[in-house]
Amino acid sequence: MNHPQISFIVPLYNEQESFSILVERLNKLMDTCSSQSFEVVMVNDGSKDRTAELMQVNALNDARYHCVFLSRNFGHQLALSAGLSVARGTEAVMCIDGDLQDPPELFTEFYKLFKEGNEVVYAVRRNRKENWFKKFAYHFYYRLLKKISNIEVNLDSGDFALLSRKVVDILNQLPEESRYLRGLRSWVGFQQTSFEYDRPERAAGETKYSLGMLYRLAYNGIFNFSDFPVKFITNMGIATVLISLSYFIYTIVKRFVFHVPVVEGFTGLLFTIILFSGVQLISLGIIGEYVLRIFFQVKGRPLFIIKNRIVDKKIVE
Ligand code: UDP
Ligand code: MG
């Protein structure tokens, strides 16, 4: 059995509107690049519309399409992970969004850079067609993450990337539970390079990422790749101890050296108690966050559950 050289991975969640354009553009691309062999791994992330049906009809007619049906909605990052786990591309794997915001045609440019010896070619968004709030939030977030994380953070890059077989094999071995793939990709190392592009608007339909989901993703980026929050608490604790000690010494000196009666300071006392109750709550929360991560990781549940697949025009359970 000959495996394809290149796999495209496309996670799909309620993308019936853009499905036909997606297939059309992928087919055109695969027909043009006739010197490579391809497969398209479409991952249905528990869609509630007709996406699964469209995927099935398409894959039963075209052996280049390899479909994965997850047992429910697991979210974009896990859908991508599921795709990575079954992709057969012997040379490289390219992750793209199903709404065509990651133009598949850029494959040829990515592949050139891959051939020059890069194990990872990731896309960097030059322009975003998004509302000002999202633009600002993204801009600020990536710069914050770069400052505080323990890995090299690629500014303004998402999951749109071409990965070598070697990198995919490593990613598949990582058991990390709350997945932040763009972080893991950077963590893996090897020779990596970026490719700048203007991110277009989605082809059809609406974003499947709610603000809550984006927040969770951003959160995972920070807590999975940075020990900054914990270090911050420790430093704050040390600073507090130093300040209160100095205040204590100051009061003693005032009382016994300068014989000033010490009675004032009720407001200060109250203020300090309230302030540090807050600080303690935040600190507990931050520690709790790491404990929670250990909790979920230790359970060792599978990251996603595959219901069935369509490979070579056949349904496999
Ligand atoms: N997606 C998914 N599962 C989800 C949410 C999104 O598989 O729970 C897919 C979605 O179908 C799309 C890609 O992930 O192909 C990116 O999602 P979207 O375009 O909604 O995100 P945005 O581009 O707005 O950040
Ligand atoms: Mg999108």
Q: Give tens-digit pLDDT for 62-115.
A: 999 999 999 999 999 999 999 999 999 999 999 999 999 999 999 999 999 999
Count of Cβ atoms closer than 10 Å to residue 118 Cβ: 20
**Which residues surround the ion ligand 2 when the cut-off is CB under 5 Å?**
97, 99, 101, 202
What are the φ/ψ torsions at residue 210 (nearest 5 degrees)? -75, 165
Contact 64, 38 (CB under 8 A): yes
The whole-angstrom separation of Cα 236 and Cα 207 is: 39
Q: β-strand 314-316 against 92-95: which pairing, if any?
A: unpaired
**Model confidence, pTM:** 0.78
Ligand 1 in contact with 158 (CB < 6 A)?
no
- For residue 138, the ligand closest to its alpha carbon is 1
Domain formed by 6-226+303-316, architecture: Alpha-Beta Complex (3.90)
Q: What is the pLDDT of residues 178-190, one digit of tens each?
A: 888 888 998 899 9
Which atom belonging to ligand 1 lies closest to the Cα atom of 43?
7
Q: Residue 146 pLDDT > 90, yes or no?
A: no
The residue type at 297: Q
State pLDDT tens for residues 252-301.
888 888 888 766 676 667 667 777 777 787 787 788 778 877 877 887 88
CA separation for the pair 181, 161 (Å, rounded):
11
CA angle 185, 1, 168 (to 5 degrees): 5
Angle CA(142)–CA(147)–CA(148) in degrees, nearest 5?
Answer: 100
Residue 70: Cβ within 10 Å count: 23
* 8-state DSSP, 12: E
pLDDT recorded at residue 249: 82
Which ligand 1 atom sits nearest the alpha carbon of residue 73? Answer: 8
**Minimal-distance CA residue to ligand 1 atom 15:** 98
